[in-house]
Chains A and B, each alone.
Chain A
Amino acid sequence: MKGYFKKYNWIFPVGLAGLSFVFFQFFYPYHLFFKEQIQLFLYTPDYFLSYFKKPAWLSAYLGDFLTQFFYLRGGGAAILASLFCVEWVLTVRVLKRITSSTKAGLWALLPASADWVLHCNTLHGVSVSVGFILVLCMFLIYAALSGAWISYAILILFSLTGYWLLGSSFLIFPFLILAYDFNNQRVHWMKWIIVLVVTFAIPPVLRHHYLLTPIQSFIFPAFSKQSLLLQGALLLSVISSFFLKKIEATYSQLISFGIVTVLAFVLSLGIINKADFNLEKVLSLDGETYFGNPDRVIELSKKYDLKNKQAAYFTNMALTQKSLLAENLLDFYQPFSLGLIPPVTPEENWQSIFVSNEVFFLIGDINMAQHSAMLGNTFSPYQRSSRMIRRLAEINMVTGDSAAAMKYLRILSKTLFHRKWAESQVKMVQSSETNKWLAGKRSQVSDADLLRKSNDYLSSLQFLVVQHPDNLVAVDYLLCYLLLNKEVKLFRENYDRYYLKLNRAVPKVYAEALLIQLVTDKASQQEAQSYSIHPEIVTRFTEYTRIFEQTSGDMSALNKQFSKSYWFYYHFATIQKK
């Protein structure tokens, strides 16, 4: 075992990079796609200059530059794995400079692992990782200087510009200097005090210039205090390696084994605690919706069987795109109508608001789609989202607002990965051509008007259907909206008014609901027969009614046979208030 860890030092970065790549590529990819969608990286001078309005312009700009590659499958995982690798390499050098520990390779895994865990959060930006790498570089430059005057000059330069360049990532710098000097028995109280005071005084002094709150000034460019864990992990590595250095030679293997065990434990615990695999599943449904793969959404939804309104939301849209909503609605969890059209209110989190435009765009409520997309962009963390800009361009192409569409397309034409799409759309706008998709979307839009509150979905759906009775998507959404809210009487009225005219076979869920209302209305046999409900469904309804009456409405007696039926939903579905 002796020398094993030293001999195979290369295993650490390679293992770290490999494992993290596998994790992000195969277990957490949709978080990374989402990170790209909530930002917008433009190749314009004005965009570059906008970074100077806040601290950390360098790390934020480089971080956002790298984040744009998250658009590519595998791009995000590759970039993060590379960043962790660089973090490890630099941390090893820093630890060797400060503590000369022979276990630097192991201790250096701690910050990179912390960053890995932190990147499980959608709001932990690449800019934090870049800032961390750059502050390590700054320290190494300082440590490499031998001349007293030049090192003082560099120290002052870094102290004064560090926050401007790297934001909160720079706050670790004075501690590294202190540890380095202390270990080299160079006691410079005055220097330490000056560096510490300058570094920690700059954020509050400049916070009004940068229009940041006191807390924001100490964590920027991060959104959360949690991101400081990365620097905390480095400090822990420095302190631990410093104190354990004296016994390294004696207990080398034991220490190595201990570090690896603790790291594996901490990393596993961190991922279990911080990685939101439920959200990853929801984001996978969202991502596949964005990429236009409804089959994949349905497949994933079946696999995950999630019981939340976000999953229901994407599943229902996918079912609609495949004309399966009325057939398979109750094969999936349905939290009343919240899974059809989720509320867009201040109480909702920004991620729900962000994706809320999808359904309005799908059903043809273009004005609501625009409203929601604007809100999605406004409430996204950076207030400039490539996905929302793309949607806004599409919306304005549909409404024929070519000037507005051109504005958004011009923006996208300054990106790396949306440029090609934008240029093709610009050609379409300029030539006034329409393709099948655009013609289809335009046919859904109404010239008639209705004033409605933004959360009055029933009025909106009824309006859409009245204006375009052939808009099957809107008809299905209206009928399912009524069914999920148990408005069966209204359902039958609307079914008779709109769906019957479409001359389509009666889908399973509608047939089941119609049977309820036909019984309630004491409809004649002739009237019931006019709906052409499949005899098998009628037989099942008779059976359901028999068991229901026999057991006085015992849910467990019906659950096995009828849990996916509308009758079961009608009788037993309740909203659970938190």
Chain B
Amino acid sequence: MRAYLIGYLITVVLFSCNGPENVTVSKGFPPVYPDYIDVTIPQNIAPLNFLLRNKPEKLVVTIKGKSDSITVKGEQKIEIPIDHWKNLLASNLNDSLLVRVLARLNGEWVQYKPFKWYVKKDKIDSYMSYRLIEPGYEVWNKLQIVERNIESFDERVLADNNLTQGSCMNCHIHGSQSGKLSMFHLRGEKGGTILNKDGKLRKINTRANGMISNAVYGDFHPDGRYAVFSTNIIIPELHANRTDRLEVYDTASDLVVIDLDSDKAITQPFLSDTTAFETFPVFSADGKWIYFCSAPKVILPDSIKSLKYNICRVGFDAVKGEIGTKVDTLWNAKKISGSVCHLKASPDGKFLLYTVADYGTFPIWHREADLQMMNLQTGEIEKLEKVNGPNSDSYHSWSSNSRWFVFASKRDDGIYGKPYFCYIDASGKAYKPFVLPQRDPEIYDYMLKSFNIPDLSDSPVPFDAADVEKVYMEQEAEQVK
């Protein structure tokens, strides 16, 4: 009896080890979602779980490295065990993984054309913050600023407007890609710009006398003492045609540098005059320049399609706390035909990443909005064709090693922005990007919020939603003078 039982078990094991019979080989790639076909990934990314859009009854995925592999089974989607995944990535640095997908469709097994995941030794910063917001164009209801550990699936809420009387919150950015220095704007009656320096939170009223608004788009100086901001009078209007949705433009916009140690505003008359719009300022990696977008004033909204922003720069002396007087134009909108926004200088000082749309200053609803990258040493422009999708690509942020950046893309459905990661090698070549992995890849299908302004950091910020609530409710705002 015992011998029979052992024989039976051996038979069962043998049968289960055999692959399915009568497998049809498909010449095409599997219809995976998210699109992870032949993407380049960092060694410290969370597992790239995916699903098949053609709803198979069974799914067997083998991820094969040089010497080891993982086989994952599922129904329609797979969840790769994170420990095995980490080991597999670690043993295949600067190499590739071959992903074989076998699916049972209507009772028949199909072996799809395998695809590759190229594993880069260069790590990406482990944390990313973003705002979760309904893409309701004009107004908001429930908002959260969230921080995600992109090495795993852990996320935590940094700020929730349910705890701050429903006020708007936006633009959480890090200084030098560090969680020790960050800020975001919290609007509303008790609001202000919330500044995190080593976990100590300050609330600053950034609107000094003579400024047209509170601070809006901004960036930290590399030494952390200064921050440069635009101040904007923002007008949202709706398109009426089939393809466009919202247009947001400024009827006035200026630049200001704020000394965060003394709460003092620093400006130059030519950066706050009425003949031009200046916006999206950032510091260069060495802190000696302020890059910004500038457009000659036009009549709005009638001439909205003539509203085209250049890339300009002006010097900044951090020792004296002074803005220079000479403005250089690095990208001439008239000559190139387009309008630039969202400038981001790479931490190694080599590149300037930005978004180009046909016109205007709000690319997230511009389908044609694409990323471009300027080599700051040669002035060459890389159009990032492998990176850009058919819908808006914007709101990008660099990893501290300048090898990766994240950006918000609406390529999936044109409405909901999601964070995509892209690898840039030392020569400035860009590789196919991939979307932020999720434990359950289906989550993107049912999510009704956009990932807005993703921003990378090498460490977590040392505050949470309770701290923000306390600062909002109890702390007096410091006034910028």
Q: Using a CB–CB distance below 8 Å, which chain A residues touch chain B?
A: 42, 44-47, 208, 211-213, 216, 346, 365-368, 370-371, 374-375, 377-379, 383-384, 399-401, 403-404, 406-407, 410-411, 414, 445-454, 460, 463-464
Contact B141 A378 (CB under 8 A): yes
Contact A449 B413 (CB under 8 A): no
Contact A383 B142 (CB under 8 A): yes
Q: Do A208 and B466 form a contact, CB below 8 Å, given A46-B446, A453-B237?
A: yes
B357 to chain A, nearest CB (A): 15
Bound-state Cα–Cα, A367 to B236, Å = 14
Contact A374 B237 (CB under 8 A): no
Nearest residue (CB) in B for A398 is B242
Residues of B within 8 A of A370 (CB): 245
Bound-state Cα–Cα, A414 to B415, Å = 20
Which one of B140, B144, B240 lies within 8 Å of A452 (CB-CB)?
B240
Q: Do A371 and B238 form a contact, CB below 8 Å, given A42-B446, A46-B442?
A: yes
Residues of A within 8 A of B414 (CB): 401, 403-404
Bound-state Cα–Cα, A450 to B240, Å = 5
Bound-state Cα–Cα, A410 to B445, Å = 7
Q: What are the interface flags for B160-201 relative to A under an 8 Å C-beta threshold, 1 for contact and 0 otherwise?
A: 101100000000000000000000000000000000000000
Contact B238 A452 (CB under 8 A): yes
Given contacts A366-B242, A371-B245, A449-B239, 8 further A-B contacts (CB under 8 A): A208-B464, A208-B465, A211-B144, A371-B138, A378-B140, A379-B141, A411-B445, A450-B241
Q: List 24 A-B contacts (CB under 8 A).
A: A42-B446, A46-B442, A47-B446, A208-B465, A213-B163, A371-B238, A374-B137, A375-B139, A377-B134, A378-B139, A378-B142, A383-B142, A383-B448, A404-B414, A407-B413, A410-B446, A411-B446, A414-B446, A448-B240, A449-B240, A449-B241, A449-B244, A450-B239, A454-B237
Bound-state Cα–Cα, A366 to B244, Å = 11
Q: What are the interface flags for B240-269 relative to A under an 8 Å C-beta threshold, 1 for contact and 0 otherwise?
A: 111111110000000000000000000000
Tier of interface size on chain B: 35 or more
Contact A211 B162 (CB under 8 A): yes
Q: What are the interface flags for B389-433 relative to A under an 8 Å C-beta threshold, 1 for contact and 0 otherwise?
A: 000000000000000000000001111100000000000000000
Contact B413 A367 (CB under 8 A): no
Bound-state Cα–Cα, A47 to B442, Å = 10
Which one of A384, A404, A453 lies within 8 Å of B415 (CB-CB)?
A404
B128 to chain A, nearest CB (A): 20
Q: Do A211 and B136 form a contact, CB below 8 Å, given A384-B448, A449-B239?
A: no
Bound-state Cα–Cα, A447 to B242, Å = 5
Bound-state Cα–Cα, A164 to B186, Å = 30
Residues of A within 8 A of B140 (CB): 378
Judged by a CB distance under 8 angstroms, whether B135 is at the interface is yes
Q: Do A451 and B301 form a contact, CB below 8 Å, given A44-B442, A46-B446?
A: yes
Q: Pick the most buried of B139, B416, B448: most chain A CB atoms within 10 A of its CB.
A: B448
Which residues in window 423-481 of B have CB below 8 A to A?
440, 442-443, 445-446, 448, 464-466, 469
A217 to chain B, nearest CB (A): 11
Residues of B within 8 A of A346 (CB): 139
Q: Do A377 and B412 form a contact, CB below 8 Å, given A212-B162, A449-B240, A449-B244?
A: no
Judged by a CB distance under 8 angstroms, whether B211 is at the interface is no
B402 to chain A, nearest CB (A): 33
Which one of A208, A403, A447 lies within 8 Å of B413 (CB-CB)?
A403
Judged by a CB distance under 8 angstroms, whether B72 is at the interface is no
Which one of A368, A406, A447 lies within 8 Å of B238 (CB-CB)?
A368
A347 to chain B, nearest CB (A): 12
Bound-state Cα–Cα, A371 to B232, Å = 23
Residues of A within 8 A of B139 (CB): 346, 375, 378
Contact B446 A406 (CB under 8 A): no
Residues of B within 8 A of A451 (CB): 237-240, 247, 301, 304
Residues of B within 8 A of A213 (CB): 162-163
Bound-state Cα–Cα, A449 to B465, Å = 42
Residues of A within 8 A of B376 (CB): none
Residues of A within 8 A of B98 (CB): none
Residues of A within 8 A of B415 (CB): 404, 407
Contact A445 B137 (CB under 8 A): no
Judged by a CB distance under 8 angstroms, whether B157 is at the interface is yes
Residues of B within 8 A of A365 (CB): 240
Bound-state Cα–Cα, A304 to B443, Å = 45
Q: Do A445 and B242 form a contact, CB below 8 Å, given A42-B446, A44-B442?
A: yes
Contact A377 B448 (CB under 8 A): yes
Which one of B239, B445, B466 lies within 8 Å of A367 (CB-CB)?
B239
The 7 closest A-B pairs by CB, nearest first: A208-B466, A449-B241, A451-B301, A374-B136, A450-B240, A211-B160, A378-B134
Contact A367 B237 (CB under 8 A): no
Contact A378 B247 (CB under 8 A): no
Nearest residue (CB) in A for B464 is A208
Residues of B within 8 A of A446 (CB): 240-242
Bound-state Cα–Cα, A399 to B367, Å = 14
Nearest residue (CB) in B for A47 is B446
Contact B237 A452 (CB under 8 A): yes
Residues of B within 8 A of A445 (CB): 242
Which one of A211, A399, A401, A450 lies within 8 Å of B163 (CB-CB)?
A211
Contact B446 A45 (CB under 8 A): no
Nearest residue (CB) in A for B144 is A211
Residues of A within 8 A of B157 (CB): 211
Bound-state Cα–Cα, A213 to B140, Å = 19
Contact A403 B237 (CB under 8 A): no
Q: Pick the most buried of A211, A414, A460: most chain B CB atoms within 10 A of its CB.
A: A211
Residues of B within 8 A of A367 (CB): 238-241, 244-245
Bound-state Cα–Cα, A45 to B238, Å = 36
Residues of B within 8 A of A400 (CB): 242
Residues of A within 8 A of B466 (CB): 208
Nearest residue (CB) in A for B142 is A383
Bound-state Cα–Cα, A370 to B157, Å = 29
Residues of B within 8 A of A401 (CB): 413-414
Contact A399 B162 (CB under 8 A): no
Bound-state Cα–Cα, A407 to B141, Å = 22
A380 to chain B, nearest CB (A): 9
Nearest residue (CB) in B for A404 is B413
Bound-state Cα–Cα, A414 to B440, Å = 16
Q: Do A375 and B136 form a contact, CB below 8 Å, given A211-B162, A447-B241?
A: yes
Which one of B240, B416, B440 lies within 8 Å of A407 (CB-CB)?
B416
Bound-state Cα–Cα, A212 to B162, Å = 7
Bound-state Cα–Cα, A47 to B445, Å = 11
Residues of B within 8 A of A454 (CB): 138, 236-238
B414 to chain A, nearest CB (A): 5
Bound-state Cα–Cα, A450 to B244, Å = 10
Residues of A within 8 A of B138 (CB): 371, 375, 454
Bound-state Cα–Cα, A208 to B413, Å = 34
A42 to chain B, nearest CB (A): 6
B304 to chain A, nearest CB (A): 6
B379 to chain A, nearest CB (A): 34
A360 to chain B, nearest CB (A): 10
Contact A406 B413 (CB under 8 A): yes
Residues of A within 8 A of B162 (CB): 211-213, 216
A253 to chain B, nearest CB (A): 53
Bound-state Cα–Cα, A234 to B415, Å = 48
Residues of B within 8 A of A463 (CB): 240
Contact A44 B239 (CB under 8 A): no
Residues of A within 8 A of B141 (CB): 378-379, 383
Which one of A45, A384, A452 lies within 8 Å of B440 (CB-CB)?
A45
Nearest residue (CB) in A for B443 is A46
Bound-state Cα–Cα, A401 to B139, Å = 23
Contact A399 B142 (CB under 8 A): no
Q: Pick the most buried of B157, B304, B445: most chain A CB atoms within 10 A of its CB.
A: B445
Residues of A within 8 A of B412 (CB): 403, 407
A147 to chain B, nearest CB (A): 41
Nearest residue (CB) in B for A392 is B415
A398 to chain B, nearest CB (A): 9
A447 to chain B, nearest CB (A): 6
Bound-state Cα–Cα, A399 to B242, Å = 6
